[in-house]
């Protein structure tokens, strides 16, 4: 049987009951699927497309007389990414939803330095109360009003250590509440940097010791300086050796190069930015501030002056040791700023003190013959 209909001129009146004419569009492959039915109402449901997805030419029913229908999937669009139309408008309150751009917070600044001074005052009050209780209620025979108490090395070093530890404990708890990061992270401790550069830092400390020896030759200090009187007994000398190479470098660096130096650098740059109307420089990849060269120079000088004044009383107010302390402090500030590590300057400070005490130990035969100093 032929699939094509016979010519109408040959058979003008076919009987529909006995002859089933097959139209070209009635191919089994082109028959549309039956309409879907609702299971609940048993009513035919007409499947429609959404307005966002127009019907493609391939899904339309074949035209009359079409013999072949393509069922290949539609070709992808050359630009699948959505492109906003020219009339696209942002959300009504989009500018209010976005957080405001804030300048970077440079830590620590002068406000944090003032808070540290306040905590240092609290530690001093606690120390005074402790000494009062010990001297009045314990049978130690300790009298703080006598001149002997001013030269009592265990008492002086013990009270200084208590003051440092109380202030450090308060700072360790309070400052992270303001900085939103750990205490040593805010001070740029970075101990791994110091350990990685241990030998160059140790060589820097040796250079500082050579400067001290040169200063002793060119501008010697008094022969009866208070620090030499404090080291007349072996026990006091060993205590000062231990204190000067551990506790003293750590807390002095924490105050001078951890708080004071960054605060002065930030204050200088902030003042210059207010006059020049320039934005603050961005934070470095480690989350720490970046200072200008003038700020670092001025900050180092202003940090070195109180550092030298702190130790000038031990040196008998002599000019030579005072200038040496300023020079050593400038070197420590340079190490701190160059490495961005407070641990690096602390390591140089501790090594420098160790070399000085080690030379004194060797020169006095184990702190037994102080007449050779």
- Mean pLDDT throughout 216-240? 86
pLDDT top residue among 5 and 328: 328
What pLDDT score was predicted for residue 286?
77
Asked if the structure places residue 340 within a domain, the reply is: yes
Burial of residue 238, with CB atoms counted within 10 A of its CB: 0-12 exposed, 13-18 middle, 19 or more buried:
middle
Asked if the structure places residue 267 within a domain, the reply is: yes
Range from 3-7, 8-12, 252-256 that averages highest in pLDDT: 252-256
Lowest-pLDDT range, 145-149, 165-169, 297-301?
145-149
pLDDT top residue among 19 and 238: 238
**Per-residue pLDDT tens over the stretch 154-192:** 889 999 999 999 999 999 999 999 999 999 999 999 999
- Mean pLDDT throughout 86-95? 53
Asked if the structure places residue 159 within a domain, the reply is: no
pLDDT top residue among 86 and 114: 114
Lowest-pLDDT range, 30-34, 231-235, 315-319?
30-34
Other beta carbons less than 10 A from residue 229's beta carbon? 14
What pLDDT score was predicted for residue 224?
80
CA angle 254, 241, 156 (to 5 degrees): 70
Residue range of the domain that includes 294: 185-372
User: Contact at 8 Å (CB) between 24 and 65?
Assistant: yes
Asked if the structure places residue 224 within a domain, the reply is: yes
3-class DSSP assignment, residue 318: coil
**Per-residue pLDDT tens over the stretch 277-292:** 888 888 888 778 899 9
Given a cut of 90, is residue 95 above it in pLDDT? no
- The total number of structural domains in the chain stands at 1
Asked if the structure places residue 19 within a domain, the reply is: no
Mean pLDDT of the residues in the chain: 80
- Mean pLDDT throughout 239-258? 96
Tell me which H or E stretch contains 214: helix 198-218
Asked if the structure places residue 140 within a domain, the reply is: no
**Per-residue pLDDT tens over the stretch 185-221:** 999 999 999 999 999 999 999 999 999 999 999 998 8
Asked if the structure places residue 281 within a domain, the reply is: yes
Dist CA 315 CA 222 (whole Å): 8
Given a cut of 90, is residue 151 above it in pLDDT? no
Asked if the structure places residue 335 within a domain, the reply is: yes
């Amino acid at each position: 049987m032929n699939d094509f209909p016979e010519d109408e001129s040959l058979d003008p009146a076919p009987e529909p009951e006995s002859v089933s004419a097959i139209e070209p569009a009635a191919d089994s492959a082109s028959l549309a699927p039956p309409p879907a039915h609702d299971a609940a109402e048993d009513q035919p449901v007409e499947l429609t497309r959404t307005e966002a997805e127009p019907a493609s030419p391939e899904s339309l029913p074949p035209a009359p007389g079409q013999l072949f229908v393509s069922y290949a999937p539609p070709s992808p669009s050359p630009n699948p990414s959505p492109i906003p139309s020219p009339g696209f408008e942002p959300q009504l309150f989009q500018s209010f939803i976005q957080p405001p751009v804030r300048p970077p917070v440079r830590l620590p600044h002068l406000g944090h330095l003032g808070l540290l001074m306040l905590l240092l005052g609290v530690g001093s009050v606690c120390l005074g109360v402790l000494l009062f209780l010990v001297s009045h209620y314990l049978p130690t025979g300790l009298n703080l009003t006598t001149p002997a108490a001013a030269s009592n090395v265990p008492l002086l070093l013990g009270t200084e250590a208590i003051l440092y530890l109380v202030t450090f404990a308060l700072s360790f708890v309070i400052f992270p509440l303001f900085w939103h990061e750990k205490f040593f992270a805010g001070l740029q401790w970075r101990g791994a940097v110091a350990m990685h550069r241990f030998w160059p830092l140790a060589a820097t400390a040796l250079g500082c010791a050579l400067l001290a020896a040169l200063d002793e030759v060119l501008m010697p200090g008094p022969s009866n300086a208070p620090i030499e009187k404090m080291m007349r007994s072996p026990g006091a000398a060993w205590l000062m050796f231990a204190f000067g190479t551990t506790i003293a470098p750590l807390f002095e660096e924490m105050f001078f190069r951890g708080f004071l130096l960054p605060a002065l650098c930030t204050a200088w740059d902030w003042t210059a930015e207010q006059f020049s109307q320039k934005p603050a420089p961005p934070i470095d990849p480690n989350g720490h501030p970046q200072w200008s060269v003038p700020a670092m120079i001025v900050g180092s000088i202003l940090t070195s002056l109180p550092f030298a004044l702190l130790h000038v009383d031990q040196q008998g107010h002599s000019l030579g040791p005072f200038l040496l302390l300023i020079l050593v402090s400038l070197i420590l500030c340079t190490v701190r700023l160059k490495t961005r590590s407070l641990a690096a300057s602390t390591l140089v400070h501790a090594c420098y003190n160790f070399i000085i005490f080690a030379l004194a130990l060797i020169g006095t035969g184990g702190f037994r013959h102080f007449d050779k100093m």
